[in-house]
A and B are shown apart, each in its own frame.
Chain A
């Protein structure tokens, strides 16, 4: 598990396709580690129902996100603002939208 550095610059290209590819890569390495390498990752995949991740795995993902995107992406706060049902139904695509939104907001400031 790599330790987060808080100084990683945001990617130059902030588009959904790039961010999806990056997040899918993080999820792929986590799933491979759990021996779930046959699970497909798509924008509509839900973390818990489809990718079979537990809530503690989302904490690991939060660490990966911070290592990649720095402080402007705060996954813990994003999830804490959701209702329980929304957390259970959270999809990869919804997270991608959130990350892109944060990065664009960061660019504008």
Chain B
């Protein structure tokens, strides 16, 4: 495990895991590399996890190793307050998370354009980063995610407000209920989430984040992949996002709700990997294997490829 301090007034210590293309295994304390096309360097993908119950483990045990095995330089980190990263008492507006990504890439010496992959809130962070730094983004993959709009902030205000109220007043009852209905592991994740909500200002900060108007959303240049579970509330946004960014590739996964990353990782891997390889900006793919060509590739990938996806 590597801890990286981002430095500066908003600096935090972030837990970073890197999987290298050379062996598809964890790389630790490796010096930073350039982005795609730098003297044959592999494309770099930065994977951003979701809010409260999430951590980099959501990628480490799903699409991370597959991306690395296919030749992608994979950077995963726990966002502030989450996983093994530092949990400051305050400063949890979206801008802080975007700033963490900026400074982390600087610290890792990654200056070329990167592919950003974001699950839920992680995609929201990735999108705002892409608006702020179009030159540093080679492509965006949003998994069950959306840009930060006024509607997004209002929804998060309701959800986080509800969670904070439930937890502060009835934490033990709420956790016992989750334990009984969703099993012990979910309850343990909820306990970590409860600690974050209880000991920090995250529930108040997220809804007061800087949001994007449609003009800013249209300004994103990187090619966009948007993946949704067909039965998730989020899927209804697909036509709206496509209308703003006509080049968007939308994939709807039938029979799933919000948790597509952990429920169908092979399918997510296949689409994200294809998106990364298609949009490796400088076209230098030395050493990059095509999807499905990984050694000892799991048959699951092929089996799930038959699933219908929307055009």
Contacts and interface: CB of A to CB of B under 8 A. Distances in A.
Interface of A: 1, 3-4, 48-49, 52, 54-56, 58-60, 62-63, 66, 71, 74, 76-77, 79-81, 84, 87-88
Given A77-B65, A80-B265, A63 B60 contact: no
B188 A79 contact: no
A82 to B, nearest CB: 8
Contacts of A77: 24-25, 65, 69
A56 B87 CA distance: 15
Interface of B: 1-2, 17, 19, 23-26, 28-29, 55-58, 60-66, 69, 78, 83-84, 183-185, 188-189, 192, 262-263, 265, 298, 300
B61 A58 contact: yes
B28 A63 contact: yes
A4 B28 contact: yes
Given A76-B60, A77-B69, A56 B84 contact: yes
A54 B84 CA distance: 11
A62 B185 CA distance: 19
B1 A59 contact: yes
A4 B83 contact: no
A76 B192 contact: no
A88 B69 contact: no
The winner among A59, A62, A74, A87 for most chain B CB atoms within 10 A is: A59
Given A3-B29, A59-B17, A60-B84, A48 B62 contact: no
A62 B60 contact: yes
Given A56-B78, A76-B61, A81-B298, A62 B188 contact: no
A56 B55 contact: yes
Contacts of A52: 184, 188
Nearest to A65: B26
A59 B60 contact: yes
Contacts of A71: 23, 25
B252 to A, nearest CB: 20
Contacts of B2: 3
A48 B57 contact: no
A55 B62 CA distance: 12
A62 B17 CA distance: 11
B65 A54 contact: no
B26 A76 contact: yes
A54 B61 contact: no
B66 A55 contact: no
A1 B15 CA distance: 12
Contact of B57 (A4, A59, A63, A66): A59
Given A56-B56, A77-B69, A87 B61 contact: yes
Contacts of A54: 55, 57, 185, 188-189, 192
Contact of A56 (B23, B28, B57, B64): B57
Nearest to A82: B61
B178 to A, nearest CB: 14
Nearest to A63: B1
A5 B192 CA distance: 31
Most chain A Cβ neighbours within 10 Å, of B60, B63, B184: B60
Given A56-B55, A59-B61, A60-B1, 5 more contacts: A54-B185, A56-B78, A59-B1, A63-B28, A80-B63
A2 B69 CA distance: 25
Name which of B1, B69, B192 has the most chain A CB atoms within 10 A of its CB.
B1
A3 B19 CA distance: 15
B23 to A, nearest CB: 6
A59 B56 CA distance: 9
